[in-house]
């Protein structure tokens, strides 16, 4: 059976699943309950000068039957006194010595950073996470993402922390930047031992169109908040990949952003994360989701022959290349399984109006559409809209020739160089002539 134990920048954990800093890690009671359920580690709700929060403070976006596909908050860091948090942290460590507790910290001056780092370490924290990501409320006070967006300031503050820290220091990055690797490089140059990403995206979740107020509404007014949950996972994955692939970083990565099930976690690990952190999914479903997370990961590792989590970290990176390195001679075309088709015509509408007019209808009075192979560019759209699993598959075209990338074609001069160049890729695709199109519209 797979071994889920990990060592993240010197922090040992029974499994790679950590609670991200947030409401589920607000108190010792919650963190002990989570460890008891099976969570590997926990990053305490960010501590600093206690704040005062607003009511209400959360908003969600539903999609179809799925509630909270996206989630937003205007909550600040911990509103509890530092001494209360640290006393409870000490207690948690007494009862759960094997589970790492990471102290998330956010303060302002060098003196304050020195003080909170020492206090957190004295309380028994196994590591420190520096919150340079909060994109609302705290940034207006010169902290959180205000630091994360300024690599020089980030580097300086990490170096202040490193002056006194004896435990591993994880730098938590904001996604509200143009290139997150700039922040990660600054974290490394400042002396940080690891990075975690992402924190939330600055956002406006929606607007109450009757009362003209953004959500969440606080006594008739609203403000921008931090966006997270399943909807942000693709962006987080790309940022994790960018940091894990950069030759200038080389720090362990803790992946965060929309992890809701074991598959999400596996994807983050394959993209280079050595731990994954979860916040919204726990706020939605509770600590119990850990059972499926660990069993799913363990079964996956067994099925793939991975003995340890570290064996699978970054496994998908070698197949994640720049666009210019993709094989332009490779073609797929759509294939419809007539037996599975329910005749809904979604694929026809999508391809006809939104793609390449490569799906025909009305053959022998049948409601099953057919693929016009010479028009199909293999874009995938029809297979994505088809509501029946396995009904439209993309199959390799028989006309595939040898590998040739854009880089190769550029090197051999085999690329379009003028606006009307005969090498334009689209010249081989059939486009309905204007006259015929007008006749069709009549
Ligand atoms: C209500 C709420 C409060 C949060 N508070 C903190 C915090 O105090 N410190 C911090 O570093 N991140 C905080 N976060 C961000 C999460 O730790 C995490 O980075 C983000 O939500 C993305 O993960 P998710 O999609 O699993 O929620 C908070 C998130 C939410 C939803
Ligand atoms: S893959 Fe794209 S072009 Fe081909 S049939 Fe489907 S939607 Fe049309
Ligand atoms: S979307 Fe799928 S089920 Fe619907 S008509 Fe097309 S192939 Fe058939």
pLDDT tens digits, 70-87? 999 999 999 999 999 999
Q: What is the number of other CB atoms lying within 10 angstroms of the CB of residue 354?
A: 11
Q: Which residue puts its alpha carbon closest to atom 6 of ligand 1?
A: 22
pLDDT grade, residue 96 (50/70/90)? very high
pLDDT grade, residue 179 (50/70/90)? very high
Å from CA of 346 to ligand 3 middle: 6
Task: Compute the distance between CA of residue 308 and CA of residue 87 in angstroms, rounded to an integer.
Answer: 35
CATH 3.30.70.20 range(s) for the chain read 323-441
Q: Ligand 1: which residues within 6 Å by Cβ?
A: 20-23, 45-46, 71, 73, 75, 77, 104, 131, 133-134, 172, 199-200, 228-229, 232, 256-259, 278-281
Å from CA of 433 to ligand 2 middle: 19
pLDDT tens, 38-55? 999 999 999 999 999 999
Q: Which residue has the tokens 């499994």?
A: 15
CATH topology of domain 6-316: TIM Barrel (3.20.20)
Q: Which residue puts its alpha carbon closest to atom 22 of ligand 1?
A: 257
Å from CA of 337 to ligand 2 middle: 14
Q: Is 239 in the pocket of ligand 3 (CB under 6 A)?
A: no
Q: Is 34 in the pocket of ligand 3 (CB under 6 A)?
A: no
Q: Which atom of ligand 1 is nearest to the CA of 78?
A: 8
- What is residue 440's predicted lDDT score, i.e. its pLDDT? 76
- The values of phi and psi at residue 41, to 5°, are -145, 175
Give the bridge partners for 362, in sequence order: none
Residues 421-437: what's their mean pLDDT?
A: 87
Which token pair is 4?
């889920």
Nearest to 201 by CA among 84, 70, 313: 70
- What is residue 368's predicted lDDT score, i.e. its pLDDT? 93
- Contact predicate 299/258, CB 8 Å: no
* Beta strands at 6-8 and 225-228: parallel, antiparallel or unpaired: unpaired
Q: Which atom of ligand 3 is nearest to the CA of 337?
A: 7
Q: Is 153 in the pocket of ligand 3 (CB under 6 A)?
A: no
pLDDT grade, residue 145 (50/70/90)? confident
Q: Which atom of ligand 2 is nearest to the CA of 381?
A: 7
Task: Compute the distance between CA of residue 367 and CA of residue 361 in angstroms, rounded to an integer.
Answer: 7
pLDDT grade, residue 186 (50/70/90)? very high
Name the closest ligand to CA 350: 2
Å from CA of 65 to ligand 3 middle: 22
- The values of phi and psi at residue 79, to 5°, are -95, 10
pTM of the model: 0.96
CATH code, residues 323-441: 3.30.70.20
- Contact predicate 307/298, CB 8 Å: no
Task: Compute the distance between CA of residue 166 and CA of residue 99 in angstroms, rounded to an integer.
Answer: 18
pLDDT tens, 341-360? 999 999 999 999 999 999 99
pLDDT grade, residue 441 (50/70/90)? confident
Catalytic residue among 134, 351, 382, 391: 134
Q: Is 359 in the pocket of ligand 2 (CB under 6 A)?
A: yes
Give the bridge partners for 70, in sequence order: 61
pLDDT tens, 230-243? 999 999 999 999 99
- What is residue 337's predicted lDDT score, i.e. its pLDDT? 97
Residue 158: Cβ-neighbour burial (10 angstroms; 0-12, 13-18, 19+): buried
The answer to whether residue 351 is catalytic is no
CATH 3.20.20.70 range(s) for the chain read 6-316
Choosing from 132, 215, 228 the residue with most ligand 1 atoms within 8 A of its CB, the one to mutate for a pocket test is: 228
Task: Compute the distance between CA of residue 251 and CA of residue 170 in angstroms, rounded to an integer.
Answer: 10
Name the closest ligand to CA 369: 3
- What is residue 143's predicted lDDT score, i.e. its pLDDT? 84
Asked if residue 438 has pLDDT above 90, the reply is no
- What is residue 312's predicted lDDT score, i.e. its pLDDT? 98
Cis before 33 (ω within 30):
no
Name the closest ligand to CA 236: 1
């Amino acid at each position: 059976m797979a071994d889920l134990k990990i060592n993240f920048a010197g922090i040992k954990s029974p499994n790679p699943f950590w609670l991200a800093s947030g409401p589920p890690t607000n108190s010792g009671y919650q963190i002990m309950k989570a460890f008891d359920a099976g969570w590997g580690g926990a990053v305490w709700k960010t501590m600093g000068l206690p704040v005062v929060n607003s009511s209400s403070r959360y908003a969600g976006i539903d999609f179809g039957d799925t509630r909270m596909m996206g989630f937003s908050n205007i909550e600040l860091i911990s509103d509890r006194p530092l001494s209360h948090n640290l006393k409870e942290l000490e207690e948690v460590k007494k009862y759960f010595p094997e589970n790492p507790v990471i102290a998330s910290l956010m303060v302002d001056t060098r003196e304050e950073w020195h003080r909170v780092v020492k206090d957190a370490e004295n309380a028994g924290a196994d590591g420190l996470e520096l919150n340079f990501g909060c994109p609302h409320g705290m940034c207006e006070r010169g902290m959180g993402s205000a630091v994360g967006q300024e690599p020089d300031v980030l580097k300086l503050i990490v170096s202040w922390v490193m002056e006194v820290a004896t435990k591993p220091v994880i730098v938590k990055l904001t996604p509200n930047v143009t290139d997150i690797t700039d922040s990660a490089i600054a974290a490394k140059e400042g002396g940080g031992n690891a990075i975690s990403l992402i924190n939330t995206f600055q956002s406006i979740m929606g607007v109450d169109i009757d009362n003209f107020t953004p959500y969440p509404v606080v006594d008739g007014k609203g403000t921008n908040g931090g966006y997270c949950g399943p909807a942000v996972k693709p962006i987080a994955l790309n940022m994790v990949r960018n940091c894990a692939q950069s030759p200038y970083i080389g720090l362990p990565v803790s992946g965060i952003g929309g992890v809701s099930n074991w598959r999400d976690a596996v994807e983050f690990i394959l993209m280079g994360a050595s731990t994954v952190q979860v916040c919204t999914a726990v706020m939605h479903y509770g600590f119990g989701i850990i059972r499926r997370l660990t069993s799913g990961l363990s079964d996956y590792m067994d099925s793939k022959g991975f003995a340890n989590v570290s064996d699978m970290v970054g496994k998908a990176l070698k197949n994640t290349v720049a666009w210019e390195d993709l094989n332009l001679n490779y073609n797929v075309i759509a294939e419809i399984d007539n037996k599975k088709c329910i005749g809904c015509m979604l694929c026809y509408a999508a391809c006809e109006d939104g793609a390449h007019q490569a799906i025909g209808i009305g053959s022998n009075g049948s409601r099953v559409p057919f693929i016009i192979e010479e028009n199909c560019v293999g874009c995938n759209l029809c297979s994505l809209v088809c509501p029946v699993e396995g009904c439209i598959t993309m199959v390799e075209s028989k006309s595939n020739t040898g590998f040739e990338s854009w880089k190769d074609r550029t090197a051999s001069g085999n690329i379009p160089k003028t606006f009307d160049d005969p090498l334009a890729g689209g010249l081989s695709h059939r486009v309905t002539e204007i006259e015929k199109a007008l006749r069709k519209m009549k």
